[in-house]
Amino acid sequence: METAFDWITLHQDMIYIVVLSVFLGIEVIGRVPSVLHTPLMSGANAIHGVVIIGAIIVMGKADSGNYTALILGFLAVILGTLNVVGGFVVTDRMLEMFKKKK
Amino acid sequence: MELNILTICYLIGSITFIAGLKMLSHPESARKGNLVAAAGMFVAIIGTIFLYEEEGVKLGNYIWIFVALSIGTLLGTMAAKKVKMTAMPEMVSLFNGMGGACAALISIVEFNHLMHRGAEGQSADGGTLLIIFAGLIIGTISFAGSMVAWGKLNGSIKDFSFKGQHIVNLLIFGVIITLSAYLIISGDPAASSLFYVIFVLSIVYGLFFVLPIGGADMPVVISLLNSFTGVAAAFGGFLYDNPVMLTGGILVGSAGTILTILMCKAMNRPLSNVLIGSFGGGVSGGSGSKDQGAYKEISITDSAVVMSYAKKVIIVPGYGLAVAQAQHVCHELEKLLLDKGVEVSYAIHPVAGRMPGHMNVLLAEADVDYGSLQEMEQANDEFPSTDVVLILGANDVVNPAAKTDPSSPIYGMPVLDVELAKLVIINKRSMNPGYAGIENELFFQPKSSMLFGDAKSVLQQLVTEIKSL
């Protein structure tokens, strides 16, 4: 029990970010028209590609002799980039078509 | 100094994600919002590569990082540029799976790292292990689930369920949690092979989680898995004390959950109902075989004639139109009718197609005028004064049972009141019930006529027929 409290105290700023971000996410999306559901889902999909930052750190930290870490990290960076780049490009393509209609 | 710059890069990243999401939820600013978020992501990534340091040591392996980034960028751009608009939901699901897999791989590498250090006498603390396990489990479930959703949407995976599947799922999940708890509490490096058992079980759980859910409910599932990946990314943020991963991940986690709930609301079904699949997979009870009497068929020529001489025609596009990729021919038909002085518009049900808003995207691709798309309430006011309603591969969204039959699984879902029009022409491939697996009494009403065939070929024939009139 003691350690759990210590952990919370140690990470309290992160925990604040989590709590506030949860409410922010709800507020930001709250009144979105159904027309935009698909692009929004796709845009959010691209944003969680931030996980790529973790992949870059893993890759950059790996010792040059540790092949498992190098290979897995390499794969992780590729997958993360796919998520980010693919996600943003697909979203842009969808939204581009909405714009043309003016 | 450099670390301060990195802090600012992450701050910029976090702000652009919030601003981007906000702008994405308004039609005028949506496209800019996407670019803003992308720019912030770029800043955060570049900042990480060049400025990140841990205990005073900078990142290495630059060549490999850039090779991987280039491969990912190239493949991602090509896939995203080439994909057909109808296949968009699959694409989102696939990219989402990639993100989940990325989170899982990070956890695997970090776990190995920890165990390695553990062997040298440094013990791993429970908090870090908890974060690594959460990232692994959630990321893996999201990956496996997204792959199934992807396969289902492109038709390569069929619904699959067996008796007691929910209990098996619960059991698997229970085992995953128990094993994780044991490993975290004991911190025993000798038991580290259990980590991979958890990994494999998470894959199995992800597969079983999505397999029984029907194709029509896939959008909801993808949205849910989307928020899972967000949470997995946020655990990565905890692991590296990285604020931009944390804000980005949690934002998507909560926004994705809300979006999932909004989608369920549009279908008037609770989320639990979708997940347990009360009518999703093969569980659809005896509702399929009730004899409803006879239906009428109408020929292409007759359809062409009634539509050409009608005053007002409303087209109701659905899943069938998306599958047949018939949006362009559909627009051609619309133009022909407009030339003949017919008033033509589209009635868009919020959950028509494969994803909410999917129909708008598809029709926009075919250059259909934005002003001729009517939302459900608007369209329902128009139906009584409409001569012909042409339904293209839509089924559940026009099923009157949602209003009249309390025993129907879709009872209470808002639907399009097409039966108020003078004549209803329904294009379907066959009399098979739709994705929800329920009969539609609309097809048997005296005003309704069936026009069987693939939406695209039927529309092409209609176009030729109307031209020759």
B86 in contact with A, Cβ within 8 Å:
no
Is there a contact between A14 and B229 if contact means CB atoms under 8 Å apart?
A: no
CA separation for the pair A9, A29 (Å, rounded)? 31
Residues of B with CB below 8 A from A2's CB?
Answer: none
pLDDT digits (tens, 9 = 90+) for B272-295: 777 765 444 433 333 444 455 678
**Within a 10 A sphere around the Cβ of B106, how many other Cβ atoms?**
33
pLDDT for the residue B352: 78
* Ranges A8-12, B70-74, B183-187: which has the least confidence: B183-187
In chain B, how long is the greatest CA-to-CA distance?
87
pLDDT for the residue B60: 86
Where does residue B258 rank: exposed (0-12), middle (13-18), buried (19+ CB within 10 A)?
Answer: buried
CB proximity under 8 Å: A 25-54 to B: 25-26, 28-54
- Highest mean pLDDT, choosing among B71-85, B174-188, B267-281: B71-85
Same domain, A54 and A25: no
Residue of B25, B150, B245, B374 for testing the chain A interface, max A β-carbons within 10 Å: B25
pLDDT for the residue B284: 39
Same domain, A102 and A57: yes
pLDDT digits (tens, 9 = 90+) for B55-67: 888 888 899 999 9
The conformation of residue A83, written as its DSSP 8-state character, comes to I
pLDDT for the residue A100: 52
B123 in contact with A, Cβ within 8 Å:
no
Same domain, A27 and A38: no
Same domain, A21 and A45: no
Same domain, A67 and A79: yes
**Within a 10 A sphere around the Cβ of B137, how many other Cβ atoms?**
26
Domain span at A79:
34-102
- CATH number assigned to the domain with residue range B294-468, chosen from the 4 options 3.40.50.300, 3.40.50.1220, 3.90.1330.10, 3.30.1490.190: 3.40.50.1220
Token readout for B85 is 């608009």
pLDDT for the residue B33: 94
Mean pLDDT (whole number) for B192-211: 92
Is there a contact between B262 and A32 if contact means CB atoms under 8 Å apart?
A: yes
Helix or strand holding residue A64 (H, E): none
Report chain A (102 residues): mean pLDDT per 10 consecutive residues: 78 90 88 80 94 95 88 96 96 79 44
Q: Please determine, for residue B439, whether its predicted confidence score (pLDDT) is greater than 70.
A: yes
Q: What is the pTM of this model?
A: 0.82
Same domain, A50 and A88: yes
Report the catalytic residues of B: 396
Same domain, A10 and A59: no
Average pLDDT over chain B, rounded to an integer: 86
Same domain, A88 and A99: yes
**Domain count of the fold of chain A:** 2
Q: Please determine, for residue B34, whether its predicted confidence score (pLDDT) is greater than 90.
A: yes
Same domain, A2 and A46: no
pLDDT digits (tens, 9 = 90+) for B251-275: 999 999 998 888 887 776 778 777 7
pLDDT for the residue B157: 82
Question: Between B125 and B425, whose confidence is greater?
Answer: B425
Same domain, A87 and A100: yes
List, in sequence order, the alpha helices (H) in A1-102.
2-10, 12-29, 37-47, 51-61, 67-81, 87-99
Residue of B252, B377, B378 for testing the chain A interface, max A β-carbons within 10 Å: B252
